[in-house]
Chains A and B, each alone.
Chain A
Amino acid sequence: MQDAGLTNEEIEEKPKLNYLTNGSTLKSWLLTKDHKRIALMYLVSVSAFFFVGGLYAATIRLELLTPATDLLESGTYNKAFTQHGILMIFFFLIPSIPAILGNFLLPIMIGAKDLALPRINLLSLYFYWIGGALTIFALLQGGVDTGWTFYTPYSTTFSNTFVMAVGLGIFINGFSSILTGLNFIVTIHTMRAPGMTWFRLPLFVWANYATSLVMILGTPVVAITVLLLAIERFARVGIFDPAIGGDPILFQHLFWFYSHPAVYIMILPGMGVISELISNFSRKKIFGYEFIAFSSIAIAVFGFLVWGHHMFVSGQSIYAGLVFSFLTMVVAVPSAIKMFNWTATLYKGSIDFSTPMLYAIGFLGLFLIGGLTGLFLGSIGLTVHLTDTYFVVAHFHYVMVGGQVIAYLGGIHYWWPKMTGRMYSEFWGKISAMLVFIGFNLTFFPQFILGYQGMPRRYASYPEELQVLNIFSTAGASVLGVGLLMPVVYLAHSLIYGKKAGDNPWLLPGLEWRTASPPPTENFEKMPVVTWEAYEFGEENGLDVEEARRRDLATVR
């Protein structure tokens, strides 16, 4: 505990430069090599994309309030769901946790001054911006209507929309992922502080390590696929279009070879956040540390072997379908292991239900449903009926929103005092967490039933007997929307009016809590030496309970 000996009073007495105050010009931000500033710029950009993607979601739900196509025409509706998917997946879900929270915290959590390749880190942000700008440009020009899956031959031959501009945007954005993944792997291997062994790493770091593996192995495949798509569209070389000698199912194989592992790029970091939250807010060492760590790696590896479960009715062979169904069942096991270990961690803990923990508890319930319905869809005989219906839509929203977005929000609330030095309103935080949970379930649970009824996805109109459930879903979406907008308000409010958080508001043992809030540019005053295991809450590890109690009393007065 060499590095965090400063108390609040001392900080106030002689204000030191932190990463926010160390340079205020535009140049000092745009040319920064500081991982924390890059993370903050990601936070702003990713949130903007989330907001635009959310607007598309709102129009989709409004259109589906009635069975007829009355609010939007079919063509507009097709563009709305396509652009919702593209923005949310490529520009929100994939970068959110790794590029924001990972970027900010990974070096601090392992006791490093920065990522191993700070300039590459800045380059990855620029790739994200260029890819994002191209995509937004294409949307303003008129958008794209192929679905985020870009299935051929529709995308290569039939669609008259801005397919290639968006494709190029995704292609460029892919390099952002690859570079971030590369950077994380190098950093975790080479930059750990003295004493920070592999099995002392916080599980958030393990999860980001597994994610990075998928990023650098999977993302090049989608880049190649987009390139082939461009070659076919411009040069008329027959690759995917059967009219000129190609095979449309080849595209699906290439696309899902990336896009299934991409699901794990989205959910693994979320699982990492949840491991942190569950353990820290129970003040108890996580149950089965090694099992959680290795299950992340197992998910990353097995995740590459199950892409064919997106193609059970596509015309691939019956035997391929059976093999993919089997492997899909296998990949369910590591997720189950995590679930059990998280639950067991709560046992005999000292559970603090602060806002981040509410998100974590919500995650347990929603991810449970998301995971179990994944079994429905992995069971090949059942999925012939369910595939391409709202059951699938509900399932992946339970995993992506109920899992990843909830974990992301939990993480943002958890590390907000560290990132900004300010505490948000706990009251509004809890209200918003509950609204998100209730609104989410009301939106997506009815869609399971709609899916079993056979309502196909990507439909602008639907049979009248399905309207009641769609009304529930749209009503839920408005609650969810309010719940998601609230943090924008109270978090922004906290930047100015929030009370000072102090270095370690929850008295937690992680390295990020042993430096100032906000941290200085070089993260630590002195290089930390780690002598404790992850998640050890005892006073012998330098957590001064007496001091924290005195501090709490002082703020009450």
Chain B
Amino acid sequence: MQTNSWVPFFPEQASTFAWQVDALYFYLIAISVAFTIPIVAAVFIFGLRYREREKYATPEEMHGSIVLETVWSIIPFVISMTIFLGGAIVYYNQYRPPDDGMNVYVVGKQWMWKIQHEGGQREINELHVPVDTNVKLTMTTEDVLHDFSIPAFRTKADVVPGRYTYLWFNATKPGKYHLFCAEYCGLNHSGMGGYVYVMSKEDFAAWQSGNVSGQTPVEQGRDLFENKLGCASCHAGGPQQRGAKLEGIFNKEIKLVGGSTVVADDAYIRESILNPGAKIVEGYQPIMPTFKGQVTEEQLVALVAYIKSLSGVADTGGQPAAPAATPAATAPANSAPPANR
């Protein structure tokens, strides 16, 4: 959003839908001008022409006009509908993430953004992404509401405690862009931000390999699942399995006790860890204890990523990776090429 002009009027366009938002903006400016000029002109002209010539004059009476009233009700209505439709189309593009894309996990916290890449790289208040690549952010917060806002990409979304929200973009221009928290979050709200760095694919690959740090989310999740939290003692396959089967469930409809169904998405997996009694899978007993308070938001992100990987939804971009039954075969994500499919 940097420009060198004295008064910057427009932020840089740096995502695939930025021009659409700007087009809508100019359309609305055009409509505003088209309404303002005649009304202001009429007020001025009437003001001059019908200025009081004589005190207490009684000008000729005029009553309303049904024709005029109808015309100036219908025209604004029709115009407002075009604005609605234009907005709806742009909104659809902004808020429907494409199926493929590189995943990035964002956890907001008073007053910083903690970001983790699928390759295991962690950043705070900075986000490095490759150009011309679909990037999907899965976001939550440890405390209060925040909002992940990148004006140059013309998009933002609130980050809400207790649930996941999503944001996606495809950056079109390498550069450094402002990242803001746009939902008031307390004392240092205006300090909660940083920059998004859009890099060429080569630069991004170099950045990635130079920044390998610890485990990928899937690896971290597997470690939690198998060792630290002991999920595997009930959920691993075999004769001892008391917990629901987790392989191959992601984004599938699951039958629940009582006959209803639920789609096993991120939100459902998260809920089942924190509040296991809420939706019991048909054929299982409500015996799982809650893990609320025992896992942090970042660990939850890792667990969800791991459980998704059991369905072949690799964390490397939504493509089937390993066979569902062999979670151990999931390749370490940082050995995968930078996702740009």
Interface positions of A (Cβ within 8 A of B): 69, 74-75, 78, 145-147, 149, 151, 153-154, 157-159, 241-243, 245, 247-249, 282-285, 287-291, 313-315, 318, 321-322, 325-326, 329-330, 332-333, 336-337, 339-341, 343-344, 346-353, 361, 364-365, 368-369, 372-373, 375-376, 378-385, 387-389, 449, 452-454, 456-463, 465-466, 468-469, 507, 536-539, 543, 545, 548-549, 552
Contacts of A353 in B (CB 8 A): 47, 51-52
Q: Which residue of B lies closest to A335 (CB)?
A: B76
Contact: A381 with B76, CB < 8 Å?
A: no
The 6 closest A-B pairs by CB, nearest first: A454-B151, A381-B90, A242-B162, A379-B87, A288-B64, A459-B190
Interface of B is mostly: mixed
Q: Which of B130-138, B142-150, B209-217, B220-228 forms contacts with chain A?
A: B142-150
Contact: B149 with A78, CB < 8 Å?
A: no
Query: Is B262 engaged at the interface, CB distance under 8 Å to the other chain?
Result: no
Query: Would A460 and B190 be within 8 Å (CB), given that A313-B158, A350-B53, A388-B183 are in contact?
Result: yes
Q: Tell me the bound Cα distance from A438 to B287 in angstroms.
A: 69
Q: Which residue of A lies closest to B7 (CB)?
A: A468
Q: Give 8 pairs: A residue, B residue, CB < 8 Å, sorted on A.
A: A78-B186, A283-B52, A337-B76, A339-B39, A348-B60, A368-B40, A453-B9, A453-B11
CB distance from A381 to the nearest CB of B (A): 3
What 0/1 readout, one digit per residue, does chain B (1-13) give for beta carbons within 8 Å of chain A?
A: 1110011111100
Contacts of A463 in B (CB 8 A): 1, 178
Q: Tell me the bound Cα distance from A364 to B43 in angstroms.
A: 9
Contacts of A322 in B (CB 8 A): 88, 91
Contact: B178 with A469, CB < 8 Å?
A: no
Contact: A382 with B25, CB < 8 Å?
A: yes
Contact: B52 with A351, CB < 8 Å?
A: yes
Contacts of B96 in A (CB 8 A): 318
Query: Would A154 and B184 be within 8 Å (CB), given that A333-B76, A465-B8 are in contact?
Result: yes
Q: Which residue of B lies closest to A454 (CB)?
A: B151
Contact: A453 with B160, CB < 8 Å?
A: no
Contact: B21 with A382, CB < 8 Å?
A: yes
A379 contacts which of B9, B24, B188 (Cβ < 8 Å)? B24
Q: Tell me the bound Cα distance from A400 to B25 in angstroms.
A: 23
CB distance from B292 to the nearest CB of A (A): 8
Most buried by B among A153, A332, A349, A383: A349
Contact: B28 with A379, CB < 8 Å?
A: yes
A-B contact count (CB 8 A): 304
Q: Tell me the bound Cα distance from A532 to B137 in angstroms.
A: 66
Contacts of A314 in B (CB 8 A): 158, 160
CB distance from A154 to the nearest CB of B (A): 4
Q: Which residue of B lies closest to A548 (CB)?
A: B56
Contact: A387 with B190, CB < 8 Å?
A: no
Contact: B160 with A375, CB < 8 Å?
A: no
Contact: B56 with A507, CB < 8 Å?
A: yes
User: Which range contains the number of B residues in contact with the other chain?
Assistant: 35 or more
Contacts of A78 in B (CB 8 A): 184, 186-187, 189
CB distance from B185 to the nearest CB of A (A): 7
Contact: B180 with A456, CB < 8 Å?
A: yes
Contacts of A344 in B (CB 8 A): 68
B47 contacts which of A159, A346, A453 (Cβ < 8 Å)? A346
Contact: A379 with B2, CB < 8 Å?
A: no
Q: Tell me the bound Cα distance from A339 to B35 in angstroms.
A: 11
Known: A330-B80, A379-B24. 9 other contacts (CB 8 A): A153-B145, A154-B145, A283-B57, A326-B84, A332-B76, A337-B69, A347-B62, A384-B21, A456-B182
CB distance from A546 to the nearest CB of B (A): 9
Contact: A468 with B21, CB < 8 Å?
A: no
Query: Would A329 and B21 be within 8 Å (CB), given that A321-B91, A372-B32 are in contact?
Result: no
Q: Tell me the bound Cα distance from A74 to B188 in angstroms.
A: 6
Query: Would A456 and B77 be within 8 Å (CB), given that A313-B156, A349-B59, A368-B36 are in contact?
Result: no
Q: Which residue of B lies closest to A290 (CB)?
A: B64
Contact: B87 with A549, CB < 8 Å?
A: no
Contact: A380 with B46, CB < 8 Å?
A: no
Contacts of A449 in B (CB 8 A): 7, 9
Contact: B46 with A349, CB < 8 Å?
A: yes
Query: Would A385 and B21 be within 8 Å (CB), given that A361-B43, A458-B190, A465-B3 are in contact?
Result: yes
Most buried by B among A158, A368, A454: A454
CB distance from B116 to the nearest CB of A (A): 21
Query: Would A315 and B182 be within 8 Å (CB), given that A349-B46, A361-B47 are in contact?
Result: no
Query: Would A336 and B50 be within 8 Å (CB), given that A242-B162, A372-B35, A388-B147 are in contact?
Result: no
Contacts of A151 in B (CB 8 A): 144-145, 183-184
Contact: A74 with B190, CB < 8 Å?
A: yes
CB distance from A368 to the nearest CB of B (A): 6
Query: Would A539 and B46 be within 8 Å (CB), given that A315-B158, A384-B154 are in contact?
Result: no
Query: Is B155 engaged at the interface, CB distance under 8 Å to the other chain?
Result: yes
Query: Would A351 and B163 be within 8 Å (CB), given that A387-B156, A453-B151 are in contact?
Result: no
Q: Tell me the bound Cα distance from A129 to B56 in angstroms.
A: 43
Give B54-105 interface residues, CB cut-off 8 Å to A: 54-65, 68-69, 72-73, 76-77, 80-81, 83-84, 86-96
Contact: A333 with B80, CB < 8 Å?
A: yes
Contact: B163 with A348, CB < 8 Å?
A: no
Q: Which residue of A lies closest to B17 (CB)?
A: A381
Q: Tell me the bound Cα distance from A285 to B59 in angstroms.
A: 9
Contacts of A146 in B (CB 8 A): 184
Q: Which residue of A lies closest to B20 (CB)?
A: A381
Q: Tell me the bound Cα distance from A330 to B73 in angstroms.
A: 10
Query: Is B31 engaged at the interface, CB distance under 8 Å to the other chain?
Result: yes
Contact: A350 with B46, CB < 8 Å?
A: no
Query: Is B16 engaged at the interface, CB distance under 8 Å to the other chain?
Result: no
Q: Tell me the bound Cα distance from A378 to B84 in angstroms.
A: 8
Contact: A158 with B144, CB < 8 Å?
A: yes
Query: Would A364 and B143 be within 8 Å (CB), given that A330-B80, A381-B88 are in contact?
Result: no
Contact: A153 with B187, CB < 8 Å?
A: no
Query: Is B181 engaged at the interface, CB distance under 8 Å to the other chain?
Result: yes
Q: Which residue of A lies closest to B47 (CB)?
A: A351
Contact: A372 with B69, CB < 8 Å?
A: no
Contact: A154 with B185, CB < 8 Å?
A: yes
Q: Which residue of A lies closest to B181 (CB)?
A: A456
A453 contacts which of B8, B28, B83, B165 (Cβ < 8 Å)? B8
Query: Is B289 engaged at the interface, CB distance under 8 Å to the other chain?
Result: no
Query: Would A346 and B24 be within 8 Å (CB), given that A145-B186, A248-B162 are in contact?
Result: no
Q: Tell me the bound Cα distance from A387 to B36 in angstroms.
A: 24
Q: Tell me the bound Cα distance from A325 to B186 in angstroms.
A: 29
Q: Tell me the bound Cα distance from A353 to B50 in angstroms.
A: 11
Query: Would A452 and B40 be within 8 Å (CB), given that A74-B190, A344-B68, A465-B3 are in contact?
Result: no
Q: Tell me the bound Cα distance from A507 to B55 in angstroms.
A: 10
Contacts of B186 in A (CB 8 A): 78, 145, 154, 158-159
Query: Would A381 and B162 be within 8 Å (CB), given that A339-B39, A456-B181 are in contact?
Result: no
Query: Is B161 engaged at the interface, CB distance under 8 Å to the other chain?
Result: yes
Query: Is B330 engaged at the interface, CB distance under 8 Å to the other chain?
Result: no
Contact: B151 with A385, CB < 8 Å?
A: yes
Contacts of B39 in A (CB 8 A): 339-340, 343, 364, 368
Contact: B24 with A382, CB < 8 Å?
A: yes
Query: Is B110 engaged at the interface, CB distance under 8 Å to the other chain?
Result: yes
B50 contacts which of A248, A349, A380, A469 (Cβ < 8 Å)? A349
Q: Which residue of B lies closest to A343 (CB)?
A: B42
Query: Is B286 engaged at the interface, CB distance under 8 Å to the other chain?
Result: no
